[in-house]
Amino acid sequence: MEKSRYIAIEGPIGVGKSSLAEFLAKGLNGRTLIEEVDANPFLSNFYADIKKYAFQTQLFFLLSRYQQQKGMFQQELFSSTVISDYLFAKDRIFAYLNLDENELGLYEQVYRLLDTRIPKPDLVIYLQASTDVLLKRIGKRNKEYEKNVKEEYLEKLVEAYNRYFFYYSDTPLLVVNTSEIDFVNNPADLTNLVKEIKKMKGGSQHYIPLTAR
């Protein structure tokens, strides 16, 4: 992983993307690129009524992610390692999950214009967790706009993520099962995970922590 200048961390809501990004940035003397989720004015309404607010929410995220990544990489010019808590391409996971046919057609036009202008990561880390574990972690975070997250929606999201990354081949990929580890509060879990990330050289690999076997 010595040549990884841009690492993106992905996974469903509550899996620990931002926390891992912060830990890795400190360990690798890099900078974080944290998605500004709280800035989306449609998010609370989206979780309360997905069908009604899906398009506004999705388009806001797409444009916000584009502006954020474009600004960061123009400034950084890859002079230091960048650790992002999202992959720009994952935006389509939510789009295909939540938008109707007409909305999706318009969304795809905008997405294709923007996607080619965003650099691809040197490494993507996909964090997995069961729906039960995600619900517990979301509850602990106690964010107001997440209180309406429904188990049924979360299950569909986990399935969509797994399906997306099963076929993913754009960059090197490390898949990590986090259901039975706690790298936020357990230093040993974090140390072992970081070791695995540093060993990553290419292709697609799966890491199942010892405690989960």
Residues identified as active-site: 85
First to last CA, the chain: 25
SS3 127: strand
Bridge partners, 174 (sequence order): 125, 205
Q: Tell me the CA distances in angstroms from 160 to 5, 11, 32, 91, 193, one per residue in order.
A: 28, 10, 26, 12, 24
Q: Give the contacts of 49 (CB within 8 A, at least 6 positions apart).
A: none
Place of tokens 């995220």: 61
